[in-house]
Chain A
Amino acid sequence: MSSDLATIDLQTGSPGTDVSASGAWSKSFIKRLETPAISQWVQVAGMLFAIAASPATAVPDYWFFERRRRDVSTVAWILEGIIGRPISRSEALRISAQILEQAERERSEFATWEAKRGIQWEAGE
């Protein structure tokens, strides 16, 4: 018997098939024990609590975080547009030259500082 046919058998509940093992439904209905009335109220209260509390206690709310992320992005984008001090092109080029001069000067100063440390090769000659 193919698996497709077996599926049809389960759905129709044909004789000779142990449908109860499927777990989807029970072939022979057995009346379950009644639980006390107070337990029903407890169950209802529990369900209501679970429904009410689930958004806060279960998995993170994607839409909430997505909306917040978008808001932050929008704010950041606005801020990106106004960051810094406006300067002219000529001033930018002047600062650029200063950056280069400063870098070279600092390397020179570091080399001088290094030369005062460590082994003095010429000593003792």
Chain B
Amino acid sequence: MIYEYPDQSAPLRQGDIFVGIPRIELSLKRVLLVQADGEREATWEGLAARTKPFDIIVPVRSVAAIVATQDCDTLHSRDITLCEIREFREVERKSKDTSAPKKWKNIITQQARINQKWFYLPPDEKVGFAEKMGVDFLVTLRVPRIDLEALRSLRKGRLNGIADEHFRERIAEFYRRYPYDEWYPLNKEEMQTYVEEYPDAKPFPWQGTAAGSGNGPR
């Protein structure tokens, strides 16, 4: 498919797919302190002013992930950023009941035309993807570069040239997005229809309904 299988000695590169990267979860409401006299549960608000480092317990899950850091930085930077890979049906819930190839075709090709928050990865036995998978740009992981280089045995593949071109374009588009209220040019009747579909959209003053700031969810 769209993958290559680099030799283990090959340097890290954007688009490298790893299986078994730690994803750490933090909660700012429940921080589990580890101290000499035992454990304590606190909030980050109460700890934020601390200047000295301290120890906490955090949960971690081993997940699949793809290198998002660009090639130059994968050679020298201290840290490497990866995006989590999960089953595509979990990342894009519109596809949760999809089965027909025609519908899959529509969903998958949309990513090249619309700025989505995911990147599609087809199944591949050698990489270890039994199902359609998706890169979730919203979930990033950070690991030390040197440590990751030492664990290249966890690298199961990488995007081929064409796929990597799409990936880097998509990830760049994702991070250069800016929020805007797409309904701003609708007239009163169009806006009425829009609000029926998206109740949290606040009309602008020129749209003839209740005054709003236009700063609703984007």
Q: Which residues of A contact B (CB under 8 A)?
A: 76, 80-81, 83-89, 91-93, 95-100, 102-103, 107-108, 111-112, 114-115, 117, 119-122, 125
What are the nearest 3 A-B pairs in CB distance?
A: A84-B42, A84-B40, A115-B93
Query: Which of B35, B60, B136 has the most chain A CB atoms closer than 10 A to its own CB?
Result: B35
Residues of B within 8 A of A102 (CB): 27
Q: Which residue of B lies closest to A122 (CB)?
A: B103
Residues of B within 8 A of A97 (CB): 59
Residues of B within 8 A of A92 (CB): 32, 34, 39, 41, 57
Give the total number of A-B pairs whose CB atoms are below 8 A apart. Answer: 93
Q: Is B176 an interface residue (CB 8 A)?
A: no
Q: Which residue of A lies closest to B39 (CB)?
A: A92
Q: Is the CB of A121 within 8 A of B94?
A: yes
Assembly CA distance A58 to B54 (angstroms): 40
8 Å CB contact of A85 from B41, B59, B90, B139: B41
Residues of B within 8 A of A84 (CB): 31, 33, 40-42, 46
Q: How far is the CB of A124 from chain B (nearest CB, A)?
A: 10
8 Å CB contact of A83 from B47, B96, B136: B47
Q: Is the CB of A114 within 8 A of B93?
A: yes
Assembly CA distance A85 to B198 (angstroms): 43
Q: Is the CB of A96 within 8 A of B92?
A: no
Number of B residues with CB within 8 Å of any CB on chain A? 42
8 Å CB contact of B93 from A80, A87, A98, A112: A112
Q: How far is the CB of B60 from chain A (nearest CB, A)?
A: 8
Q: Which residue of B lies closest to A101 (CB)?
A: B59
Per-residue contact bits, chain B 84-126, to A (CB 8 Å; 1 contact, 0 not): 0000001111101010001100110010001001000000000
Assembly CA distance A112 to B57 (angstroms): 30
Q: Is the CB of A115 within 8 A of B39?
A: no
Assembly CA distance A86 to B206 (angstroms): 56
Q: Which residue of A lies closest to B118 (CB)?
A: A111
Residues of A within 8 A of B57 (CB): 92-93, 96
Q: Is the CB of A121 within 8 A of B110?
A: yes
With A95-B30, A99-B27, A107-B139 already in contact, the answer to whether A83 and B90 are too (CB < 8 A) is no
8 contacts between A and B (CB under 8 A): A81-B35, A85-B40, A89-B38, A93-B57, A96-B57, A111-B91, A122-B107, A125-B102
Assembly CA distance A92 to B198 (angstroms): 41
Q: How far is the CB of A92 from chain B (nearest CB, A)?
A: 4
Per-residue contact bits, chain B 8-50, to A (CB 8 Å; 1 contact, 0 not): 0000000000000000011100111111001111100011011
Q: Is the CB of B92 within 8 A of A83?
A: no
Q: Is the CB of A119 within 8 A of B114?
A: yes
Q: Is the CB of A108 within 8 A of B90?
A: yes
Assembly CA distance A89 to B16 (angstroms): 38
Q: Is the CB of A121 within 8 A of B49?
A: no
